[in-house]
Amino acid sequence: MPDDLRYEPPKHRYDWLIALGPASCLVIGNVPDDDREVISGLAPEVRTVPAGAFDDLVHRGAYAFHRAGIWRAVVMGTGLTPTASASGRTRYTEDDSHLVAATFLHRALWPTAEQFAGRALFRVGDMVRVRGGAGLVGRIKRVVQLAGAYQYQVDMQGEIKRYSEESLVLEEGDPRDPSFWLTQPPVGADGLSLTLTWTKLRHPLTDTLYSFASSKTVFRPYQFKPVLKVVTASSGRLLIADEVGLGKTIEAGLIWNELEQRSRLDRVLVVAPAVLTLKWKSEMGRRFDRQLEVLRARELADFADRLADGDDPPLRGIVSLESLRGADELLDRLTDLHPRFGLVIVDEAHYLRNSGTKSHALGRLLADWSDYLIFLSATPLNLGSNDLFNLLSLLDEGHFGDPALFEAQLEPNQVLNAVARSLLTEGRREPRKLVGQLDILDAMEFGSSVTDRPDYQLLRRLLDVDRPLIHEEIARARRLLADLNMLGGVLTRTRKADVPDNKAIRAPRSIDVEWTEQEKRYYESIHAWYMSRALQSNTPPGFAMQMPLRQAASCIAASQELMRERNPGLFRQEIDDADEDVAADIADLFSLPTLAVPVRVDTKYDRLLAELVQVRLAGLRQVMIFSFFRRTLGYLARRLGEHFTVRVMHGGVAMADRERIMDEFRAGEFEILLLSEVGSEGLDFEFCNVLVNYDLPWNPMRVEQRIGRLDRFGQKHEKIFIYNMHVPGTIETDIFQRLYDRIGVFESSIGALEPILRDELSHITRRLLDPRLSATERLREADRIGVALQQRAHDTDELRAARTDLSGLDGLLVEGLTEAGPDNGRFIGAAEIQRMLDELFSRTGGRRGKPNKDGIFKLVGTAQLAERLRSSRISEDGSRHLRPKLAALMQNEEPLDCTLRPEVASRHGNVELLSARHPLIKLAQEVLSEETLALPRFGAVRVPGIPGGHRYLVTLDLAETTGLRPLLELWATAIDLGSGQLCDGVGDLLLTALAEGRLQDGASSQPEDLRDLWEQAQQHLAVRHRDTERARRQENMALVRGRIRAQQGSLDLQIGKTRDLVARLRAEHNSPRIIRLHEGRLRNLRARREEIRHELTRHQELAVSLTAVAVALIE
């Protein structure tokens, strides 16, 4: 009788088993993919089990046994090492034989075994497309057999996902390979535009302005100077010193927008005076859809606790300068913890300027903690001013360490800026002539501070050629010049006079008041008391002594209320913004008999009311009335409230209430706003054009601040009407209004006089109020001071004009910004945003309506869109609604008013601005990032500006440069199909048309030599790659060496100065807490010096890598 047990090792394959015709086959463990198809056909029923505990009883290979007239088989994919062929009879074979063990395994495992799957349809490494997955493409990483079928682990853009075999389709070719793209039919304008826009958003390009059209503001080119400086300079430090009313808050918000598109900003701190914190909260919410909270000491302490516990907590908010400066224990802890902030913005930064103060020490700490530090201050460009030097020293102590040398240090800027300007004109054609201009630096006292730097030698070599410079060389030269410029990277200043705009005309008007005899006697009695006190001391009375007189000039009725209460302390409570301490002995004033006689009429109020009625009849519906005194504001509110709708806003009104009143006034819900300087500080009233000075401050800059609340860019009216109550016989009218008329404060901005007035105001006031002057002499002195101030302003303008070249490259940086926006397509256009939105809707549902005449349209979401929004990892900013609320609106399909136009969104506060920052656009980017292999990479388009009859093959590649100053660029290589020549400028035309939404479908026909043209483009690209990498490697090495030397030198200087400061503070027995702050900073500086070389040396190596993005046929 033949054997009924058999074993064959794997090398004998399966023909012998097929010949036996087994009724069943059990497969144990995994078998080679190549064998699976044969094994699946060995028997009518084939089952499988995973490898298990009995594998060491049998050998890899195939077993067969005969029982009850039927052959059965076992195929071992696992087990002992294969052995020689074997066979035998069951009755004669030992029970411990592997032949017998195989029969036991079949009997024991067969009932629980699963159906065996045949050969897998896909293999590891195959590119597959997901059925119904909107083009999702990935690469198979692993094949797993489960439940008698195959499951595939697929790499989808870095995320491993599992699919069944039925869900996948084999993708012929590699979608990442440009040569594969060329085998596909070209897509049209929509498909190619989608790929390029996604690329711009996913990979932020160095030369693209992402903050453009990202805020609810009207575009003004000058407001992007700070953005460009922060992006192009390498210091991460900037002082924005624009004049009042030009929008420094907007500029800071744009910088934030730009930086957050380029990297994640988890920690951002806005430090501002307490009176401005709610203004920042409001502005960031209203203009930038950024929901920020005003942080208190408790939140900051919690942040410090989490840092101390080793956590890495985010923190974004606004904190008052006063609360942070006074939080001694908190600052001590943070000094030891040394937190890092991605961005710190300090408003009114001039409060930090005085060394030896807690504010200055705080400024040093903020500088140490921040990657990007932005100071905002209206401090003018007065190079002789210690204020400017002190602020710059806080920003960059290494470069600005000695005030005595400050101006001389800036002298080389004249040469550098002249060369930079020439690069935009004839210098680019004959660059070698610019080398001669640079030689002037050798004769300057501080010229060596530039010429000794390694990057200066690179600049000379770059310019020392006898051919015109190409675009990339010009850009590189300008980067080097900006780095060499002492002020170029750290200061920007714009004056109103420098900005071409339709400025509102200031139209001053006088409301003449002729007091009754009783009113005159009341005022004159206080004036006589005031002058007698002045003569007694032989000096002009101080601030406190002035208050009764100024209150009487402001409002006699309010003055009498105060006199009746006979409480000298009330005057302090009534002053909304004291310039100095107001404590003084004025008790004898209350005993004047004239003041006890009630004054029954109020001529000044009557004249105001009559004028306001005329203003209303003229169609001017909203008026702002300023007063220095709260009692005056309260009196006017009671009386004017009988005729108009009125609100009051002064320093005693809570911040939240001020914000509410402001919103109501902006919405036109009432007619008259009564306010003080403090009540209006930091607020913008560009929608209102009527101002009344019910009383005049004795400081012209305070008058300018009042008018500056209305006279701002964005002022909606051609004229601003400034009404002054003209009351002859008062100091306000006879002296100060006369002076103000002389210097023109009511006709135009006096920003140029600010530094002069700030330094000399107290001296001017003493001269005008000198009790030894007669009335005539006082008038003459007012005229003389006015003439002198006018001359000083003229001299300051001439000095500024002569020293323009000492500052930075502000004007040059606006090159490329037209009145419509950036040129060369260096922005994300409205058409691109719309395309991303439509693509999101095509995948998740949703729809948008047609825009109305204002550019506003309805957007309606779906449940699917809401679910994607909730599960997304995108940030909260960029929408009026936080993400949960926005998702709820999408879920409920509630129509959302939207626009793509920032100027429309700025006028309609309840409209969503769809920009690159909006959550829906970020979600679209995230969705497309999951299927980048499915994005169309080959297109045919028509581009405006391409000469007729010409057609080009253009390859688009991301060029990423590492090193000290990383760059990410989109390189376009264009080959003329007719001539085969390389053509410059075609890529710029393509990107401009993309951003402006002017790409059109091109001819789909392809040239026969398409592959040859593409290879030709690759050759040109390789040459550019090689040359660029060599040049940048050389430049990077020089920059790293120079930076190490400069930063270590800077730290040495800071260590020395801080050590000396600590010693001085100890000698002066200054506050221990201030000393501890500086001691903590000293420790951090020493630690930082040790770290600096290690950190910078890592950047010495530079490489330029290329990643193919798309190929296009352009006509």
SS3 632: helix
In a domain, 623, yes or no: no
Q: In what order do the strands lie in the sheet with 952-961?
A: 982-983, 967-976, 952-961, 1104-1114, 938-942, 1000-1001
Residues 969 and 1107 in one domain: yes
Return the higher-pLDDT residue of 115 and 925: 925
Which tokens hold the place of 788? 């002198």
User: CB of 937 within 8 A of CB of 1110?
Assistant: yes
Residues 443 and 426 in one domain: yes
* Confidence grade of residue 384 (pLDDT, cut at 50, 70, 90): very low
Q: Of 458, 493, 528, which one is at a domain's C-terminal end?
A: 493
Residues 849 and 967 in one domain: no
Print the domain residue range for 1011: 939-1114
Residue 694 amino acid letter: Y
Dist. CA 403–CA 390, nearest whole Å = 8
Residues 73 and 109 in one domain: yes
Residue 342 amino acid letter: G
* Confidence grade of residue 772 (pLDDT, cut at 50, 70, 90): low
Return the higher-pLDDT residue of 669 and 494: 669
* pLDDT score at 803: 40
Return the higher-pLDDT residue of 160 and 145: 160
Q: Mean pLDDT in the chain?
A: 84
- pLDDT at residue 131 greater than cutoff 70: yes
Among all chains, which residue has been given the structure tokens 């004054």? Answer: 599
Residues 471 and 552 in one domain: no
In a domain, 1080, yes or no: yes
User: CB of 977 within 8 A of CB of 952?
Assistant: yes
In a domain, 211, yes or no: no
Contacts 24+ apart (CB under 8 A), 477-481: 477/423, 477/431, 478/420, 478/423, 478/809, 478/812, 479/232, 479/965, 480/455, 480/456, 480/1035, 481/416, 481/417, 481/419, 481/420, 481/423, 481/809
Query: What average pLDDT score do residues 288-315 get?
Result: 92
Per-residue pLDDT of 1001-1060, as tens digits, reads 999 899 989 999 999 999 999 999 999 999 888 878 877 876 677 667 767 777 888 888
Q: Which of 342-346, 398-402, 458-462, 825-829 has the lowest mean pLDDT?
A: 398-402
pTM for this entry: 0.70
Per-residue pLDDT of 954-983, as tens digits, reads 999 999 999 888 899 999 999 999 898 999
Dist. CA 841–CA 763, nearest whole Å = 68
Of 250-254, 655-659, 820-824, 1094-1098, give the range with the top mean pLDDT: 250-254
CB atoms within 10 A of CB 134: 13
Residues 929 and 1019 in one domain: no
Query: What average pLDDT score do residues 126-132 get?
Result: 84
In a domain, 78, yes or no: yes
* Confidence grade of residue 996 (pLDDT, cut at 50, 70, 90): very high
User: CB of 119 within 8 A of CB of 36?
Assistant: yes
In a domain, 920, yes or no: yes
User: CB of 816 within 8 A of CB of 824?
Assistant: yes
* pLDDT score at 546: 76
SS3 80: strand
* pLDDT score at 1066: 87
Residues 1106 and 984 in one domain: yes
Our count of domains for the chain comes to: 7
At residue 1067's C-alpha, the angle toward residues 1063 and 1070, to 5°, is: 95
In a domain, 1075, yes or no: yes
Residues 157 and 81 in one domain: no
Dist. CA 388–CA 369, nearest whole Å = 22
* pLDDT score at 812: 44
Residues 253 and 380 in one domain: yes
Per-residue pLDDT of 304-327, as tens digits, reads 999 999 999 999 999 999 999 888
Q: Of 567, 596, 625, which one is at a domain's C-terminal end?
A: 596
Residues 395 and 542 in one domain: no
Residues 353 and 440 in one domain: no
Q: Residue 333 maps to which CATH number?
A: 3.40.50.10810
* pLDDT score at 798: 44
* pLDDT score at 573: 54
* pLDDT score at 383: 43
Residues 542 and 467 in one domain: no
In a domain, 25, yes or no: yes
* pLDDT score at 746: 66
Of 413-427, 598-612, 740-754, give the range with the top mean pLDDT: 598-612
- pLDDT at residue 336 greater than cutoff 50: yes
In a domain, 503, yes or no: no
Q: Please, is 193 exposed, middle or buried when counting C-beta atoms within 10 Å of its C-beta (0-12, 13-18, 19+)?
A: buried
Per-residue b or e along 567-606, where b marks 16 or more CB atoms closer than 10 Å to that residue's CB? ebeebeebbbbebeebebebeebbeeeebeeebeebbbbe
Q: Report which of 234, 239, 266, 265 is spatially closest to residue 252, judged by C-alpha positions.
A: 239
* pLDDT score at 443: 86
Q: Of 897, 916, 934, which one is at a domain's C-terminal end?
A: 934
* pLDDT score at 316: 94
Q: Report which of 874, 887, 872, 877 is spatially closest to residue 316, judged by C-alpha positions.
A: 877
Q: Report which of 66, 75, 69 is spatially closest to residue 41, judged by C-alpha positions.
A: 75
